[in-house]
Amino acid sequence: MPRRFELLVFDWDGTLMDSAACIAAALQCACRDLGHPVPSERDARYVIGLGLNDALAHVLPGVAPCDYHVVVDRYRHHFLLRDGGTTLFSGVSEMLHALRDKGHLLAIATGKSRRGLDRALEATGLGEYFHITRCADEGYSKPHPGMLRWIMEAVGISENRALMIGDTTHDMEMARAAGVARVALACGAHERAHLLECAPLACLNDCAELESWLAQNA
């Protein structure tokens, strides 16, 4: 039977890596250190998946863009203190191995910086599984469809042969704007109710459910 989706595009944080809590805490600590209003955990989680500048514009509207670099430096300080404690969700490596062996093209579309994603791929050993990756500092940030369109153009796959997999409404909206089918994971940054509002093909609880769904539908 031919594959329905030739290209599977994954978000990183909150989708493959269990890092949403780490990101939210690092952002809160950075704001506290600098005397800025500290976002709630829900607000801090909401901006996960956006590029850092877009995230800061949302949680710190009173801070001038020319001063974002100060917040970004402090955020990175706190994130790196916690990053060593983050792990892949259970079953991720095995799932990616199986999908690659079945002939799917695998990609990443992430709000991380290129430096951050490369560090994460090296630390986890997952770099070999991905045909192509795209980061927020290399073009448009989610939910703009540019990141996903760039990936599809680069590998020569049309919209109806691609699937976006992510844990935030930013992932879902990016896919919808690009005309791409989408599957949500409710184990990351955004709440299930909000993910369902984006009309994904499925909203799954974890990697085990995702692997099963892909085996039957992708």
Residues classed as catalytic:
11, 13
Sign of the Cα torsion 52, 58, 62, 66 reads positive
Residue 215: count other Cβ atoms within 10 Å of its Cβ. Answer: 12
Q: Is 170 helix (H, G, I), strand (E, B) or coil?
A: helix
Helices 20-33 and 52-59 cross at an angle (nearest 10°) of: 60
Q: How many residues does the chain have?
A: 218
Tokens for 87, please give them. 């792990």
Asked whether 57 and 114 are in contact (CB, 8 A), the reply is no
CA dihedral 28, 30, 33, 38 (to 10 degrees): -30
Tokens for 69, please give them. 């670099």
Q: Is 217 helix (H, G, I), strand (E, B) or coil?
A: helix
Rounded to a whole number of angstroms, the CA Rg of the chain reads 17
Which amino acid type is present at position 11? D
Can you tell me the distance from the alpha carbon of 52 to that of 50, in angstroms, rounded to the nearest whole number? Answer: 6
